[in-house]
Amino acid sequence: MMKFARRFFARPTAVFGFAVFVAIVAIALSAPLIFARGPFSIVGMPLLPPGAPGLFAGSDVLGRDMVVGLAYGARISLLVGITSTLCAVGIGILLGATAGYYGGLVDDLLMRFTEFFQIIPSFVLLMVLVAFMQPSLASTVIGIALVTWPQVARVVRGEFLSLRSREFVEAARVLGMRDARIIFTQILPNALPPIVAVSSMMVGSAILTESALAFLGLGDPNLLSWGSMIEGSRSAMWVAWWTTVLPGLSIMVTVLALNFVGDGLNEALNPRRRR
């Protein structure tokens, strides 16, 4: 574990990414404590520039404090990014492991299914899913998980396929272990590094996807997210740059930090892969 941490923090980008990520988590968690009045409360005239009295980042089209909006937006981004990835990884592991371990018909079906996802424009499919389930936090998370799990399943399947005939698996079988136990206690721990690497990159892209959905008006109408802030200020972009620039920068910094963390994890977990 110490070795792992040392390898991870040996990369400056990973240190930067981790620090920024921790800061964003802190902001997201403390937003309701610091800004108890909530992101929708109106605090002054609309479109005041950053630096106006009491408004560090200015106000938006409706005269709401941009700082509060940005802080609350972090909650949605992180929540959607992490929960949708966890769901996708869960589905991906279950199906990928079954396909890789048993092979045969299950495997064939799964591979055809992932191919379906590869030839269908996945963002269009996602829009259809979310719009038809009614846009909400839950439908966003479920939708993203449903279009991204095949990525995980492919990786898991590949790992299981190569691990299932190894000696330690044979040994477990000889000992009379049941399949489920072999899959979860013997093979899965050995297949974890690539799964972690794939899923760490998925959190960032899920955040991007959530913001894109919200930007298209397919986000939860009762929540303020970075994407919906940009959507709401589309008409004001020409006169008030901060209303669109700041939420966009927040998304970019968050995703960049997560990708740096992902890169660091990848590198620390696969020392053989080092250049």
Partner 1 sequence: MKLRYIAARLIKTVLVAIAVVVLSFFLIRLAPGDVATVMAGQSGFADEAFIKNLRAEYGLDQPLPVQFWKYASAVAQGDLGTSYVRRQKVTAIILERLPNTLLLDAFALVVAAAGGIWLGMVAARKPGSAGDSAVTVLSMLFYAVPQFWLGMMMVLVFAVWLAWLPPFGIETMGAEYTGLARLGDIAQHIILPGMTLALYFLASYARLTRTAMIEMADQDFVKTARAKGISERQVARRHILRNALLPLVTYAGLQASILVGGSVLVENVFSWPGIGTLAYEAVKARDNPVLLGIFIVTALLVSLFNLITDIAYSVADPRVELG
Residues near partner 1 (CB under 8 A) are 13, 112, 115-116, 118-125, 127-128, 131-133, 204, 208, 211-212, 215-216, 227, 230, 234, 237-238, 241, 244-245, 247-248, 251-253, 255-256, 259-260, 275
> Is 62 exposed, middle or buried (CB count within 10 Å of its CB: 0-12, 13-18, 19+)?
exposed
* Closer CB to partner 1, 10 or 34, in the complex: 10
* Closer CB to partner 1, 43 or 91, in the complex: 91
CB of 31 to partner 1, least distance (A): 21
CB of 143 to partner 1, least distance (A): 12
Using CA atoms, how far residue 128 sits from 122, 144, 217, 256, in Å, is: 10, 11, 13, 28
Phi, psi at residue 39, to the nearest 5°? -75, -15
* Closer CB to partner 1, 72 or 260, in the complex: 260
CB of 204 to partner 1, least distance (A): 7
CB of 262 to partner 1, least distance (A): 11
Q: For the chain, how long is the longest CA-to-CA vector?
A: 74
* Closer CB to partner 1, 183 or 198, in the complex: 198
CB of 186 to partner 1, least distance (A): 32
Cα angle 231, 235, 240 (rounded to 5 degrees) comes to 100
Nearest to 55 by CA among 75, 35, 74, 36: 35
* Closer CB to partner 1, 15 or 163, in the complex: 15
* Closer CB to partner 1, 187 or 232, in the complex: 232
CB of 207 to partner 1, least distance (A): 9
